Amino acid sequence: MTADARPLAGATVLIVEDEYLIALDAQRMAEEAGAAEVMLANSVEEVRKLLADGPRIDAVVLDLKLRHEDGSALVDELVRRGLPFVVSTAFAVDPASTIRVLRKPYRDTEFVDALTELVHARNK
């Protein structure tokens, strides 16, 4: 794979997703795009622990519906910490919202492009 094909080279990505197969597919896409580390979380508590104890995170993919939890509880926390994120959802989102949305089901290129934008914006 060429350097251009590895736009996430060296990045640490956090994927917040409660559907196991979707999380694994997202992990695969991020790793194939060069991410150095991909962390998976499936609950609000798990994310908060990673944010408190984990490494620097370059980009977050946040599912808003986590089992019986509301993942939107994490949006303010991500904003407060200055972590670039994209919301991943199959549900309708307010078109006036300024939050970046990655609509499910997404293709590999859409997923990698969204993460690449986040990582490059963070590294400027």
* Both tokens assigned to 110: 């859409």
Predicted model pTM: 0.91
For all residues of the chain together, what is the average pLDDT? 90
β-pairing verdict for 65-66 and 69-70: antiparallel
pLDDT digits (tens, 9 = 90+) for 72-105: 889 999 999 999 999 998 887 776 677 889 999 9
CA distance 7 to 35: 8
Exposure of 16 by Cβ count < 10 A (0-12 exposed, 13-18 middle, 19+ buried)?
buried
Low-confidence ranges of the chain (pLDDT < 70): 1-4, 95-96, 124
